[in-house]
Copies of this chain bind each other. A is one copy, B any other.
Amino acid sequence: MPELRKDPIIGRWVIISTERSKRPMIIELPTKPPDDGICPFCPGSEGLTPPEIMAFRDQGSPANGPGWRVRVVPNKFPALRVEGELDKTGEGLYDKMNGVGAHEVIIETPRHDRQLADLEPHQIAEVLQAYVARMQDLKRDTRLKYLLVFKNQGVRAGASLEHSHSQIIATPIVPKAINEEMTGARQYFEYKERCVFCDIVKQELDDRRRLVSENGSFISIAPFAPRFPFETWIMPKRHRASFEDTPQADLALLAAILKDTLLRTSKAVNNPPYNFVIHTAPCDKATAEHYHWHIEIMPRITRVAGFERGTGFYINPTPPEESARFMKELQL
């Protein structure tokens, strides 16, 4: 059973996932494609994954066979497990709990040769719809405090399988970065009585130097203080705390701006590996006045060195005004 442990100084929770490695010497996570080269995420290989949790399928196609457009399965090597009661204990001055949670994989397309950015907007909208459906379902489990949706594109970004997919990890704690955002945004709200993210949207729409693209419901920006070159954030124009409350009509607009931003990133820096993470409110703060969901897209271009790794203090050689202008001017 994996274990969650808390750093006693800064309160950062870590998953100690013993099942992902049998001996302390094993250094790569054992999630590589099988040796025979068969991709477990391709149609026809459905038996190589655990049974599907949900899928968007062509009419009449049976579960766990081909005919799906988007397919959600449990992670074969889960970081957290759904079984059991949540058990919090101490060990001297330390705190820990058992690793109750969920870990699912969203296979974004049956096509092995397509990245998310290559899909048609209506196909990307179905991927987003799968995120929403899974989040709404997982939220009913009151042991879970946070639903984290993220994507690793490319081996250097941590993807263990080439076939395009994203992941959901549901955790019994709120991750550190989200706690920090909640705290910072609440302090801003207490002082200004406004959502800091709404103020950012307004300033970026007025200023336009960091605006990458825009549609009726969303903006895509290079943030003012980006950690990474060509980092972008997608934000809803209107205040909304939780991603999973996005209306169906807006998912199409979100798919469009996500595709546009990913394509511009890809063209600007030669199809880089990237990560994206959906930052949404914790399960019990779904309608917070001070929090505003957004997607952070982080290309892996520069190497993160000791300086950044040890301190959370990043050096970024590319001003966001330059990366935004460059991305905006690209012909897609």
Contacts from A to B (Cβ < 8 Å): 3, 5-18, 20-21, 24-29, 79, 91-94, 148, 150-152, 156-159, 167, 169, 171, 175-178, 180-181, 183-185, 188, 196-197, 199-200, 203, 207, 223-227, 229-230, 268-269, 275-277, 279, 296, 298, 301-307, 309-320, 322-323, 326
Q: Which residues of B contact A177 (CB under 8 A)?
A: 10, 310-313
Whether A225 lies near B12 (C-beta < 8 A) is yes
Q: Which residues of B contact A229 (CB under 8 A)?
A: 21, 24, 27
A199 to B94, CA, bound (A): 10
Q: A8-B200, A26-B317, A317-B26 are in contact. Are A225 and B13 (CB under 8 A)?
A: yes
A302 to B93, CA, bound (A): 28
Q: Which residues of B contact A3 (CB under 8 A)?
A: 319
Q: Which residues of B contact A18 (CB under 8 A)?
A: 317, 319
Interchain residue pairs with CB less than 8 A apart (20):
A9-B185, A9-B196, A9-B197, A11-B184, A12-B313, A12-B314, A15-B315, A15-B316, A20-B315, A24-B326, A25-B268, A93-B199, A148-B307, A157-B305, A177-B310, A177-B311, A178-B311, A180-B312, A275-B305, A276-B310
Q: Which residues of B contact A207 (CB under 8 A)?
A: 92
Whether B175 lies near A8 (C-beta < 8 A) is no
Nearest-neighbor residue (CB-CB) of A26 within chain B:
B317
Beyond the given pairs A27-B269, A94-B224, A151-B306, 7 more chain A to chain B contacts, judged by CB atoms under 8 angstroms and listed by A's residue number, are A7-B225, A9-B196, A12-B313, A20-B317, A24-B230, A27-B302, A158-B306
Q: Which residues of B contact A313 (CB under 8 A)?
A: 12-15, 148, 171, 175-177
